[in-house]
Amino acid sequence: MVTTRDIRERAADEPITMLTAYDAPTAAVVDDVGIDIVLVGDSMGNAVLGHDSTLPVTLEEVRSRTGAVARATDDALVVADMPFLSFGVDEAESVENAGRMLKEADADAVKLESGAHTVELTRRLTELGIPVMAHLGLTPQHVNETGGYQRQGTDADAAERMLELAREHEDAGAFSLVLEHVPANLAEQITEALEIPTIGIGAGSDTHGQVLVITDVLGLDEWSPPFSKQYADLRGEMAEAIGAYKREVENGEFPAEEHSHVEDDVDDVY
Ligand code: KIV
């Protein structure tokens, strides 16, 4: 079983692997393959719930899917992503919402899209026994403020501020830090400045680990970001399988004898 402590103490020469999953069968494969961390990301909004951003994702959706992922996972660390406005508005409510992920969905930790507003919350959650993965750089829950999904930390002021926030979250007790869509040389410097591991997505190769969205990896989405890599074409394979089923039903090939059952006693009911 991978624990938050294992991740925090992971040696720099042993890269951390992390993938999102939103359902039990996918999580089971991710876990069997030996991925260290399964993130039940609010990217489910775009990836599987048909929204065009992460903003509509609800606490209940993340809680329910985290439960499914946790039930299918034996070894990997399960991290539940706190959805938009489920944290940061009111401390007591934030603690209660994050706590539900551990108490009701069996998550091992939560991830917060981070900023100045999450430093004290990270401290409080950690004190209470709710481990926090911080997340800086591109934070898609701020899309209406940033005006899009652009690379972050691209000038010296923004880069310094990000480094400062990374340090503040480490001091507050975060056990790891996701860096999304930031220049590789900034991610490298933040990684060097921290004791806790950094996990990059679109942040170059000098972080301690990497994370990708599973539907991008498997080729299930029509679109994926340029920093992602597609390792399969499941969309194509699904279309082939579903097309074959449709053809066989239409031409009477399915169901065949081996898919049917005949009971002699019910021969004469008509
Ligand atoms: O929601 C998500 O999948 C994420 C990862 C991209 C880090 O936050």
- Report the residue among 42, 49, 181 best suited for mutation to probe ligand 1: largest number of ligand atoms under 8 A from its CB: 42
**Ligand 1 pocket, 46 CB below 6 A?**
no
Beta partners for residue 81, in sequence order: 111
| Amino acid letter, residue 154 | T
Q: Give pLDDT, residue 12.
A: 84
Examine residue 270 and state whether it is found in any structural domain, yes or no.
no
Cα-to-centroid distance, 41 and ligand 1 (Å): 5
Is residue 180 among the annotated active site residues? yes
* 237 part of a folded domain: no
Residue 42 in domain: yes
Let me know if residue 48 belongs to a domain: yes
Q: What is the pLDDT of residue 191?
A: 98
Q: How many domains does the chain have?
A: 1
- Quote the CA–CA distance of 71 and 219 in Å, as a whole number: 25
**239 domain-assigned:** no
pLDDT for 109 equals: 98
Residue 177 near residue 169 (C-beta atoms within 8 A): yes
* Alpha helices, DSSP H, located in the chain: 4-8, 24-33, 44-47, 59-71, 91-103, 119-128, 143-146, 156-172, 184-193, 214-218, 234-250
Decide whether any atom of ligand 1 lies within 6 Å of the 214 Cβ.
no
Q: Mutation test of ligand 1: which of 201, 220, 221, 227 has the most ligand atoms closer than 8 Å to its C-beta?
A: 201
Residue 134 beta carbon below 6 angstroms from any ligand 1 atom? no
Catalytic residue among 164, 180, 258, 263: 180
What is the CATH number for 94? 3.20.20.60
Range 122-128 contact pairs with CB under 8 angstroms and sequence separation of 24 or more: 122/169, 122/172, 122/173, 122/174, 123/172, 123/173, 124/91, 124/95, 125/94, 125/95, 125/98, 125/173, 126/172, 126/173, 126/174, 127/173, 128/95, 128/99
State in Å: Cα 135 to ligand 1 middle.
9
Residue 72 structural domain: 4-232
Per-residue pLDDT of the chain in tens (270 residues, 90 and over written 9): 999 999 999 988 899 999 999 999 999 999 999 999 999 999 999 999 999 999 999 999 999 999 999 999 999 999 999 999 999 999 999 999 999 999 999 999 999 999 999 999 999 999 999 999 999 999 999 999 999 999 999 999 999 999 999 999 999 999 999 999 999 999 999 999 999 999 999 999 999 999 999 999 999 998 899 999 999 999 999 999 999 999 999 999 999 999 999 999 998 887
Cα 257 to middle of ligand 1, angstroms: 46
User: Does residue 249 sit within a domain?
Assistant: no
pTM recorded for the entire structure: 0.97
256 falls within a domain: no
The predicted structure's pLDDT at residue 93: 98
Q: What's residue 222's pLDDT?
A: 86
Whether 43 is in the pocket of ligand 1, judged by its Cβ within 6 Å, is: yes
**Which residue, judged by its Cα, is nearest atom 2 of ligand 1?**
41
The answer to whether position 81 is within a domain reads yes
